[in-house]
Amino acid sequence: MTQTPCESRPWWACSLPENHTRAVFEVDLVERGLRSLFEWPGRLGRHLRRGAAAYMVLLVALILTTLAGLYVRADVQAQNGVRFDETVNATQQAIGRRTDAYVDAMYSARGLFYASQRVTADEWNGYVEGITPGERFEGLQALGYVEYVTPAEREDYFREARERGQPGLRPDLDPGGERAGYYPVKFVGPMDAANRDLISRDEYTEPEHRVAMDRARDTGEPVATSRVYVMTETAPGAIADLSMRPGFVVYMPVYRKGEPTENITERRSALQGFIVGAFRMDGLLKSTFGGAFDPTLDFEVYDGGETAESSLLYDDDGVRRAGMAQQAAKYQKSGRIEVAGREWTLFFSALPGFERGGSNRLPLFVFLSGLVTSFLLFFIIWMLVRSRDRAERVSEELEDANRELEGANRELEAFSYSVSHDLRAPLRTIDGFSRILIEDYGDKLDNDGEDYLERVRGASQHMGNLIDDLLDLSRVARKPLRRETVNLSALAEDVIERLRASEPDRNVEVVIEKGMMAQGDANLLTVALENLLGNAWKFTSKKPDARIEFGANRQPGAGFLAPVYCVRDNGAGFEAAYAQRLFGAFQRLHGTEEFEGTGIGLATVQRIVHRHGGRVWAEGQVGEGAAFYFTLGGGARGGVEAPVKKAEVA
């Protein structure tokens, strides 16, 4: 076997043959793959357990999205169904109103015969021109008068027709011989190329017309024929001048004036003729819809109660859908109306474009929006889960830090105990022996010696006060906060009473607002008021007209959390530039020879206010007094002063 340099092989295989190294490497890859394969379920399980809440939210959100999409889809389909039904009903009503208007025009024409002794061709043409069929009755191809001619009157009618220049009766005879009566068209209008050929034509020979005439004669009502073809002129540029269009003809009986028409026999005997109207379906419906029918609906009209192709009167798009199972639409409906005593079937079918409106895209929008929202919620919950894991780790670290802090607090308490006991004992010894020296050996000391001993005693007492103030400051930070309803006015009055008792000879005007209530720790708030009112009492000691006020502004304005409390005095005051230094420990703006104190009081006040969630600030001028503002439970923004109203005298 050949050896390869170590530079081209792994460090663990430098001394192995090349083929052996490759085999070991391949085994290592297989082991890693198998290890990953077996570890994968465990990793997946840990991943699912950690993100169970996020995946549950995703599952619920997807289910809700699906349900919402299905609900909106059903609602949209219901709205489409309502819209389809409304269109169908509106169309049926429009056709009914339009055909009634056409029949009313025929009633008016019949009134012409009842109002005149003899109607002439000129009068008839004038009436037809007056109703402007091309504008008001676009589907009316011809409006005419059919006269009833008996066999005995036949020759006279032929003679009069020839005198008028009209053709003879057409067709002349029935295939079976002479008829019992004839019904030639005597007047017709408008007199165009299509209608001119109707003069003297007898349509009674056609079964569709004969049935309608007989029924109209016997009932006295207008009666329409079944589907027939109506001769009409073609559009300019067409190959032929005339064409046959699907339509129908309506016959309205005209009876001789003064003759009874109570029953069929009387009506047959009194028959004078018929008002006849020939209608084109395309023109009739065009005038009905103004030439603009809903393009997303297919509209078909059939004569009678069947939707057979042989009875088709009108098809909107030329594609017959009624009765075609392979072309059944989601929305389709049949309706029936009566036109001049004849039943029509109206068939409506929704085309694909009917459901492509804006509302029909709403289910897709809801579904896509739901998907986006679902995955957004999943991402948010997943991040919250990760944040919770981090928070748990941080919480564990905080617990460790708290344990360390508790140890430090115990050491601080031990230090406080040491300060309280171990340092106080030497101070008491110094103060005691200094007092004994003054009392027992004062006569042996000169004035300087006595002065030195007094200074020693004063220093030891001052250091004792410092120790007491430091311990109080430490207790303020460590003492548990117990919130309750506190009467600040009552606390302030107690503090003032104690101050008056300590210096009964002073005459200080104190004004305390009544009824100031707050939520906080009564003991800590008492300490804060003792320091604030005590400072005001101390720094007004050199004022003959000393005045101290304590009040609250319950509407301090924007940027402040109401109420803002204020302790104001007219004492020594301070430089405004040093206002921020007042609340630091051992910070004093006046010498001890001028005003006694340790400089701890305002630092204690600040800690108490901060523990209540508020803030404290001060304003003043030298010789004009000072004002200390504080809030409880929140602070002012911007660091500006809030005006405080004058308090009432306690």
Query: What was the pLDDT predicted at 501?
Result: 87
Output 274 or 40, whichever has higher pLDDT. 274
Q: What is the pLDDT of residues 489-533, one digit of tens each?
A: 999 999 889 888 888 888 889 999 998 998 888 888 888 888 888
Given the structure tokens 């890693």, which residue do they identify? 32
CA distances from 608 to 237, 485, 584, 636 (A): 104, 16, 13, 16
Look at residue 291 and tell me whether its pLDDT is greater than 60.
Answer: no
d(CA 228, CA 609): 102
**Residue 611 burial by Cβ neighbours in a 10 Å radius (0-12, 13-18, 19+):** middle
Q: For residue 297, what are its two tokens?
A: 């609906």
Output 597 or 197, whichever has higher pLDDT. 197
Run of H or E including 72: helix 52-115
Count how many Cα atoms sit within 13 Å of the Cα of residue 64 in the half-sphere of its side chain: 13
Rounded (10°) CA dihedral 28, 32, 37, 39: 140
**CA nearest to 213, candidates 253, 154, 164, 267:** 253
Query: What was the pLDDT predicted at 1?
Result: 46
Q: What is the pLDDT of residues 427-444, one digit of tens each?
A: 677 767 777 777 777 777
Mean pLDDT for the stretch of residues 404-425 = 66
Average pLDDT, the chain: 77
Mean pLDDT for the stretch of residues 9-15 = 50
Query: What was the pLDDT predicted at 566?
Result: 92
The torsion angles phi and psi of 535, rounded to 5 degrees, stand at -65, -45
Please report which confidence band the pLDDT of residue 59 belongs to, taking 50, 70 and 90 as the band edges. confident
Output 606 or 585, whichever has higher pLDDT. 606
Given the structure tokens 């001048």, which residue do they identify? 241
Long-range contacts of 528-531 (CB under 8 A, 24+ apart): 528/604, 528/605, 528/608, 528/609, 528/630, 529/488, 529/491, 529/492, 529/495, 529/567, 530/495, 531/601, 531/602, 531/604, 531/605
Q: For residue 479, what are its two tokens?
A: 């003492």
Output 476 or 118, whichever has higher pLDDT. 118
Given the structure tokens 């009502």, which residue do they identify? 221
Q: What is the pLDDT of residues 297-309, one digit of tens each?
A: 888 898 888 888 8
Q: In sequence order, which residues have a C-beta less than 8 Å from that of residue 583 and are 6 or more positions away?
A: 602, 603, 605, 606, 616, 618
d(CA 295, CA 289): 12
Please report which confidence band the pLDDT of residue 465 belongs to, taking 50, 70 and 90 as the band edges. low
Mean pLDDT for the stretch of residues 588-606 = 64
Look at residue 648 and tell me whether its pLDDT is greater than 60.
Answer: no
**Count of all residues that appear for the chain in the document:** 650
Please report which confidence band the pLDDT of residue 620 belongs to, taking 50, 70 and 90 as the band edges. confident
Q: For residue 135, what are its two tokens?
A: 């504008």
The answer to whether the beta carbons of residues 549 and 566 sit under 8 Å apart is yes
- Tell me the percentage of the chain whose pLDDT exceeds 90: 11
The answer to whether the beta carbons of residues 267 and 310 sit under 8 Å apart is no
Query: What was the pLDDT predicted at 418?
Result: 65
The answer to whether the beta carbons of residues 40 and 32 sit under 8 Å apart is no
d(CA 282, CA 593): 118
**Residue 480 burial by Cβ neighbours in a 10 Å radius (0-12, 13-18, 19+):** exposed
For the ranges 71-80, 183-192, 239-248, 553-562, the maximum mean pLDDT occurs at 183-192
Query: What was the pLDDT predicted at 544?
Result: 84
**CA nearest to 520, candidates 387, 620, 633, 435:** 633
The torsion angles phi and psi of 335, rounded to 5 degrees, stand at -140, 160
HEC-encoded secondary structure of 112-155 = HHHHCCCCCHHHHHHHHHHCCHHHHCCCEEEEEEEECECHHHHH
**Whole-structure pTM value:** 0.51
d(CA 543, CA 548): 11
d(CA 264, CA 217): 8
Q: What is the pLDDT of residues 139-163, one digit of tens each?
A: 888 899 999 988 888 888 878 878 7
Q: In sequence order, which residues have a C-beta less than 8 Å from that of residue 213 and are 6 or more positions away?
A: 146, 183, 204, 223, 251, 274
The answer to whether the beta carbons of residues 155 and 202 sit under 8 Å apart is no
Q: Integer distance in angstroms from the first to the last C-alpha of the chain?
A: 111
d(CA 520, CA 188): 107
Between 92-101, 232-241, 313-322, the lowest mean confidence (pLDDT) is in 232-241
The answer to whether the beta carbons of residues 610 and 634 sit under 8 Å apart is no
